[in-house]
Amino acid sequence: MKKILITGAAGFIGSALCRYIRKHKLAHIVGLDNMGYAASREALSSLGHDQHFKLIEADIGDSEHLQSILASEQPDGLMHLAAETHVDRSIDNPEIFLKTNIMGTFTLLEAVRHYLPTLNDPQRHGFRFLHVSTDEVYGSLGATGQFVETMAYAPNSPYAASKASSDHLVRAWHTTYGLPTVMSNCSNNYGPFQFPEKLIPLMITKAQRGEPLPLFGQGLNVRDWLFVEDHAEALYLIFTRGRLGEKYNVGGGSEIRNIDLLDQLCQLLDEALPTSAHRPHKNLIRHVADRPGHDERYAMNFSKLNQELGWHPKTSLPDGLRQTVTWYLTHKSWCDTIHQRYSGERLGNVLPLTRK
């Protein structure tokens, strides 16, 4: 059984990926995470007694530590998910996004570039590096159309710009140095263990407490939602079978306006909490000033992934939302612990500069 090094292993998507791989006994895992504010050891608790899973606290910006880990663990491949991910935080503090997402990816690429020549021929030829990215690198769509892999990049937020930069680094290290890389770009994820700065868990946790549900602008922005467990399956397929040097879009096929998504969440909460003093929960919705540079619409065309690797999302949005609401309502202690670190305050509330 091969050994995979997974960065960002205690994050939302990273932990789901670790659980998926070990559930199906697909590989040994060495997980790396700097255990920042959004990391969750609880998300990996089901792997606590798994002899084929190890979690190492490490930062991808620490070159010396990375090289030591690669030399000692001798992984057969690497799946890179470590990143700063929240758009609103990137508006408040873009520097950490550039350090982690750009320089961290550069440091990781260089560590792998120097690691590969130390391997024997079969291991070196079988090594693969998956870089996990976002649909936000493509910018904003109008009312029609979808993002395809050949589309030019047009990032509009510091977060998106940092991820676009890291994508370009990965492409360049493949072309220039021959690193065996493959890339994925995904739509909005949701599901268990997501840090509640993100839209869906933020609304669920606020509604439970009877707090106002802040909705940017009129709530007309459209997103394509992907259940995290479906994403984990796609990532493993791309990592193991995707063509080197290629990129694959991963989408949920579930476009919906934010206002309509929130309406569905409120209906599910009304059903799940019939005695709540806050029913109907949609009365908690409050329209607030829009996010600066808020992209109008995202929609992913994942036909390449479907045609080449046979993947398609298995979880419909209604089913995924119901599972997600149930999970948060039955894991109140986890939510309360997170609430001590992040109480749901608005981030990224910065007025853009204007020209006179």
In angstroms, the CA 294 to CA 291 distance is 5
Cross-strand bridge partners of residue 128: 77
Can you read off the two tokens belonging to residue 296?
A: 């109008």
Of 135, 149, 229, 255, catalytic: 135
Residue 351 has what DSSP assignment? P
User: E strand or H helix at 115, and its extent?
Assistant: helix 105-115
User: In the annotation, is 159 catalytic?
Assistant: yes
Of 136, 197, 229, 233, catalytic: 136
Contact between 233 and 309 (Cβ < 8 Å):
no
Of 20, 115, 159, 328, catalytic: 159
Can you read off the two tokens belonging to residue 258?
A: 């934010």
| CB neighbourhood size of 345 (10 A) | 7
Contact between 243 and 128 (Cβ < 8 Å):
no
Q: What is the dihedral of CA 181, 185, 189, 194, to 10 degrees?
A: 40
> How wide is the angle at C-alpha 338 spanned by C-alphas 333 and 343, nearest 5°?
120
User: In the annotation, is 135 catalytic?
Assistant: yes
For the chain, the residue count is 356
**How much helix, strand and coil, in percent to the nearest 5, is found in the chain?**
45, 15, 35
Cross-strand bridge partners of residue 3: 28
Contact residues for 94 (Cβ-Cβ < 8 A; gap 6+) = 158, 162
User: In the annotation, is 336 catalytic?
Assistant: no
Nearest to 126 by CA among 249, 247, 14, 27: 27
Contact between 159 and 90 (Cβ < 8 Å):
yes
Cross-strand bridge partners of residue 31: 6, 55
| CB neighbourhood size of 228 (10 A) | 23
Which amino acid type is present at position 86?
Answer: H
Contact residues for 333 (Cβ-Cβ < 8 A; gap 6+) = none
In angstroms, the CA 171 to CA 180 distance is 10
Residues annotated as part of the active site: 135-136, 159
